[in-house]
Structure 1
């Protein structure tokens, strides 16, 4: 998400924390957010266009031809890589804001708790009224243990991040081991329950009203909170790694870290791709409900490979940051566009909108996502010529700073 304060620490004479002016922002953060937003959309489009429980399950055996290869491309190169990049950038924004608060001599904790509460409120509205695949609630909740890690030595942060991230992988394997020890009858029950959930999503989102969809989303919200045992450590781990990237200056002044970025581009990315391909080769398709140890081991390989691939992507984007500067306006409006993607896609695919649920081939899904993102790029450039923030960023800032910042460019700071 677009963090509230992406600039360097404020001048020591500043009496309080204020929203950062555009000229003070760390520009590469916005470029990275724009790229991450594209990856998130390419990943999520599958979950918008059909049952959520059938998304993110590897390479679907039902696709043929170009649709099969489109699905494979997303699974290998996109899924789990840009979600982790988003998480890393959230942690980076946290570190920048903490630095600004320290230099300003202000208590960071109340400010950050307001920020997290605002994100939680926005996320709850999104998860319960728009789309069950929300990540904002999880970000808001996981931001609290991130706050508890604020005093950790900076040199510890990347190692803490990797260990915590792998903790999520360990939980994944533990779940697989428990399923593998279940009786045949229990496994049949799990498979039947998974199929029942898929059928219900088809009925509600493919044929139901908005009110019925809201009831279904409320039910799915509880399930998503249970998944925090696995996804929570992965997200917190990326938060910590992102805190190091910002706190060390690796994002603000990447030219000071040539060996780091070269290693990420030429070693981490290929290594992560290799580990990912091992997992894909072992279990290309992950049938819902059949998450035994062999399946979760394949998922674990893909998840482990996703971390160095994410860092490799980050390094290449930083390397090409000047050429990719056109992504920065999208990144500055990432929260608005993330929610906008959900609104437009659910309206396109769900029955209470255009009703195209499970009607779009996989390759066309990706084309649709690219066209939508291209429109968001144009909208971002036009919007930010006149306004300082995206509309949802503006509301979030008001929640955080307890004042309405001026929206139009050239307006006096209140």
Structure 2
């Protein structure tokens, strides 16, 4: 069989890691819950409002829920997913080396398929897509990271910090305060289109938002690449397998990373709990930088805490419950967008703006519990999720076993 035409046996060898690292599926499932908690505010209301920090108009339990998601969830779970993406890259790279396969060809196909999924998701389902960015960042990773290479930590930090310097420069070049009505008008327009518009009008608006979002890649892309590379480094350093006997040092590492990240995030809240996503001045730049510094540290805190917890008997049993959702992460991620836009957008059930902030957390837990149950049911009958099967089919250009 030619290198340009992978066969099923080679595909299976590339895809599988000896003694499947089940705990990574559990971490992926946990991250999936965090993604839903983060995105739900943007599903139930205007996207820009979800990006404006802690809403000063909220009070009581609604304000508490808003602050909890902003501090402990927002920005921490897309970075965790990015970390896992890098781990998956390294696992596939190792598998291709064992199978003597053309990893560049295989992974290029995988990224092209992911880019198509991302475009379809952004234009047809929900404007808050991350998959297209992952596809572009994955191409950079493929270009830069060779087999068995361990990305240097100093270089990872430099790549992640580059857009933070850009944000700082934009804050220094602040031309003055933004029009106070500009954000309110933009939020009102989003609410009208998403909450009352037909599918065609929303689709046109999504295309507009996607085109605008391409400019945001200047900031988002380097950070995604850095987190991918950090995932590769963690795998090459042996941290993608949990310790057989977790030690106090494992717990201290997790706690230290989380605490420093939390302190930076809370410092951002102290500077200003609210931000204007349409403008950058010195204050908003400082808040953004503090949040973007705190997020990867808290993400690593979560990662190492879960790694430590998996080494404990009770912890492993608890985390294993998340694994089925993690094995179907792509299907479940897209499913979250489908469920929520059909429920909340005007062309669906029209519940846009009607779910109080405090109720969004139990709603997210209920949706995720349903996805867990569905994932367990599905995987009892099939080897992988429906989108995972399609992704692998497009990656290898070969029929793969689907039914268990």
Shift of 1:392: 0.5
Name the counterpart of 1:359.
354
Q: Distance in 2 between matches of 1:260 and 1:133?
A: 38
Match of 2:152, SS? Answer: helix
Q: How many residue pairs end up in the alignment?
A: 390
Name the counterpart of 1:394.
389
> Cα 1:24–1:152, aligned 2, differ >3 Å: closer, same or farther?
closer
Name the counterpart of 1:211.
200
Name the counterpart of 2:3.
none
Choose 274-283 or 258-267, whichever is displaced more.
Answer: 258-267
Name the counterpart of 2:313.
none
Match of 1:286, SS? Answer: coil
- Residue of 250, 256, 264 corresponding to 1:261: 250
Counterpart check, 1:199 vs 2:188: yes
Name the counterpart of 2:302.
313
Counterpart check, 1:405 vs 2:400: yes
In structure 2, list runs of 5 or more residues that go unmatched: 1-7, 311-315
Counterpart check, 1:252 vs 2:241: yes
- Residue of 278, 281, 290 corresponding to 1:289: 278
Shift of 1:17: 3.4
For normalisation by structure 1, the TM-score amounts to 0.89
Name the counterpart of 2:375.
380
In structure 1, list runs of 5 or more residues that go unmatched: 1-13, 410-414
Shift of 1:310: 0.6
Name the counterpart of 1:84.
79
Name the counterpart of 1:3.
none
Shift of 1:26: 1.3
Name the counterpart of 1:17.
11
Matches within 5 A, 1:3-82: 16-18=10-12, 20=15, 24-82=19-77
Matches within 5 A, 1:129-278: 129-151=124-146, 154-178=149-173, 180=174, 182-183=175-176, 187-188=178-179, 192-255=181-244, 261-278=250-267
Name the counterpart of 1:371.
366
Shift of 1:103: 1.9
Shift of 1:293: 1.7
> Cα 1:156–1:109, aligned 2, differ >3 Å: closer, same or farther?
closer
**Contact 1:161 1:239 survives alignment (8 Å):** no
Shift of 1:259: 7.8
Q: Could you list the per-position Cα deviations for residues 328-352 of structure 1 after superposition, in whole angstroms to 9, with x for gaps in the alignment?
A: 1100000000000000001111001
Match of 1:47, SS? Answer: helix
Q: Could you list the per-position Cα deviations for residues 153-204 of structure 1 after superposition, in whole angstroms to 9, with x for gaps in the alignment?
A: 84443332222112222222223223x1x156xx33xx55544432221111
Q: Could you list the per-position Cα deviations for residues 66-104 of structure 1 after superposition, in whole angstroms to 9, with x for gaps in the alignment?
A: 000000000111111111000000011001111111122
**Contact 1:59 1:285 survives alignment (8 Å):** yes
**Contact 2:15 2:92 survives alignment (8 Å):** no
Q: Distance in 2 between matches of 1:15 and 1:105?
A: 12
**Contact 1:272 1:306 survives alignment (8 Å):** yes
Shift of 1:30: 0.4
**Contact 1:206 1:351 survives alignment (8 Å):** yes
- Residue of 258, 262, 279 corresponding to 2:268: 279
Q: Distance in 1 between matches of 2:233 and 2:263?
A: 26
Choose 222-231 or 254-263, whichever is displaced more.
Answer: 254-263
Shift of 1:35: 0.5
Counterpart check, 1:325 vs 2:314: no
**Contact 1:162 1:237 survives alignment (8 Å):** yes
